[in-house]
Each structure stands twice: as C-alpha cells, then as structure tokens.
Amino acid sequence: MKWLTYLLVALVSMAFIACDTDDTTGPEDDVLTGTLVINEFLASNDAGLADENGDFDDWVELYNGSADAIDIGGMFFSDDVEDAEPHMIPTTDATATTIASGAYLILWFDKEADQGVLHVHAKLSGDGEAVVMFNADMTILDSYTYDAQDADISMGRTTDGGDTWGLFTTPTPGATNE
C-alpha cells in the first residue's frame, strides 16, 4: 500500500501549490475577510489634509493587514449600513486602487466621484453616522458607527487593524495610527 501513500502525498502537495500561486488577491477572495479594515476617518475636516483639488473633504483611511496586496476596485463604500446602492470603486485603475500588504489608502468621502477613482459618492456627517465597506458581493466587510465628531480630530483604531477605537488630535492619514 506504500504507493497509495505516495500518491496521496503527491496529490496534497499539488493542491497546496495550486492554492498558493496568486499573490494579488481581489475582494472576491473570502480568505481576506477581516484583514482589510477601516482604520481611521475624519468626518469634519476644516483644515486637515486636502485632496488633490485643495478640498478639505471627509476622508477614510483603509489599512491592509493581510500578507497580500488587495485591489479595492469593485468593492463598495457608504455612510449607511442599509444602503442598497452604495458607491462602487471603479475597476479601471488598479494602480490607484491596490493596497500593498501593510499599507494604507485614503478614500475621499466628498460626493465628487468625477475627481478620481478614490472619491466616494457619500459624505460623513459630523453629527454621527457610519463608515461602511462592502465586499464585491455586497456583504459588509467592515463598518464603524460613530457619534458626533469635533473638527479636525480623527477617529481610528488605537493600533493599526486593532479592535479598540479612540480619538486622535493629530490625525495620521496614510500613516500608522499613534
């Protein structure tokens, strides 16, 4: 029966190799659920970070805590967990929409999708609302509901990708939360 053992080992090895050939993983990959997170946001931007048009708009920082690059093209974002028609990130510019492992990406919540692929058709109310990230299949990948916010004070996870949230008098868009 030794040949059967060899055959099984060979089959298992082949299956393992087959699963390990894709190092850029899209949002359709269930394995990544929970590893791409909403990491920080600013819902009331008076004089913080401006977008490429000089607008002081609401922003949301995503953090990719997974081992693989993730393209958010085809994923959806909203300010409402019940949103039946959330904003889809275009799939036309993978360079702009791909987040390397351990990296950050800023989305502008400015209702100005004409300004680029990273501009979402939603704004974040300073009086309290939600930030919601949907997978390509419209299941919620991550969401955070918040209370009233002060101008230029961001809210985020106290450590990148961690479970505890806090306020930051010095926001860190595109950089580690501290």
Rounded-to-integer distance, Cα 3 and Cα 33, Å: 39
**Pick 106 or 140: Cβ nearer Ca ion:** 106
- Residues near Ca ion (CB under 5 A), total: 14
Q: Which stretch binds Ca ion (CB under 5 A): 67-75, 79-87, 114-122, 127-135?
A: 114-122
Q: Is 29 in the site for Ca ion (CB under 5 A)?
A: no
Rounded-to-integer distance, Cα 118 and Cα 6, Å: 51
> In a 3-state reduction of DSSP, which class is residue 15?
helix
The residue from 40, 68, 79, 129 that contacts Ca ion (CB under 5 A) is 40
Q: Is 142 in the site for Ca ion (CB under 5 A)?
A: no
Spacing of C-alpha 2 from chain mean position: 49
Is the distance from CB of 62 to CB of 39 less than 8 angstroms? yes
Least Å distance, CB 82 to Ca ion, is 19
Is the distance from CB of 28 to CB of 72 less than 8 angstroms? no
> In a 3-state reduction of DSSP, which class is residue 30?
helix
Q: Mask of contacts with Ca ion, 66-105, x by CB under 5 A?
A: ----------------------------------------
The residue from 29, 93, 112, 152 that contacts Ca ion (CB under 5 A) is 112
Neighbouring residues of 20: CB distance < 8 A, sequence distance ≥ 6: none
> Can you give the binding site for Ca ion, defined by CB under 5 A?
40, 43, 51, 55, 57-58, 61, 110, 112, 115, 124, 126, 172, 177
